[in-house]
Structure 1
């Protein structure tokens, strides 16, 4: 993706912050526990926290959470939903925290938006020795036939390169989490997937897909046509045509542990 196109996608969510907060799923608690690889009460940075979907699960698991989010509208939704959480304006490339101040840095559906050439050093600066960096993604389970059909009908803009299990596995098969500072030593990346699901109706699933970056940046006629095709597909399927259903999902996690500090 070209840098300017990538920037447009990455900054598109604020215009739909309310819908994002309402319709996007949270994260499988088992996935978050595995991502942390730490005891309850660990100091955790939720980086690119959005409206607080991952933040809320971290709070429920007993973590000491700081949320950092660059978009003012997304940050406002997070503060409204989780007023007791320390929530700061900032981005992965300029994290407003002191050196070695957190035990884990987690990013929910956000790591792919970071400029890791810069963010890797910043993450290394705030991450304590022995800490963990993990990206989490909620993905639709396209091993289920109707979900695979939905992905085909939606197209690559509506169902992006990390929105289905198959595409997420392909995108992360050879992925690595860049070094977190020139003196940091890291272990090998670890990958895991955890079953998840979200209760949806056809209308609310269309509303969820409408919050994806590829849809948000579409010209309005193209956006309406894309969502119309998805709506028609869901109306045609017995699994999704009649009221509520569970959208089969998984939370995929890519994790690396920081082993310590090597000599300069």
Structure 2
């Protein structure tokens, strides 16, 4: 009986040992699985944190960019509105100045000439039979007054809308401007047109004419120049107009009169560009470019 009992005890001990070993192996396997799961969760949390931080940073950056863009657009809109208000005010001023100038010219020149012409006609009646020599002298004076009145009216009409521009074309109108500038100022003005301008539209021809007119007007008023050159040529980029003088020039910070503003508005309406370069003592250059797509 004793050996059998020892065998049973030995078997029980062996089974207990095997169970303990199995339990240790299961515990180690479970611990290994938990460690793998823990590392996986840590990795996923790290990736999620990095992705979340990146998305948050990108979203914040995008929001800041949109806010800056919105602020820039708002400022641009406000600036455009302010410019429009200033432009409207200045255009009204320009209109009033033009009306005042036209009224003054009509009153001071044409009105006085017509008054003198009427007086000469009344005096002519008394001299017709009594003094033939005085009659002829009065008649010549009347002819002169009539010619002066016609010239003043023609100059006013040419200033408002030059019929020469419609009848003879842009080149002839620009040459007339150069001659009139030289006649009034005594400064030689060379007008050079290097290409045919017949294909230009009415708005383009008017724009070029007004640009040259305003540039010559500013030159007569402020430049104190000895020579003026006007050139119009057709380049690959389009029509290029250049008015250059060798006068006293001006500081770029002083730019911005009504005339230059009008030039800029006309040029921009044709998708063109206006460049004005000047410095004190070195003359002034006004350059206008009208794109080929517009000038075609």
Band the TM-score falls in, shorter-chain normalisation: under 0.3
Higher relative contact order (CA 8 A, sep 6+): 1
Rg (Cα) greater in structure: 2
TM-score computed with the length of structure 1 as normaliser: 0.24
TM-score computed with the length of structure 2 as normaliser: 0.22
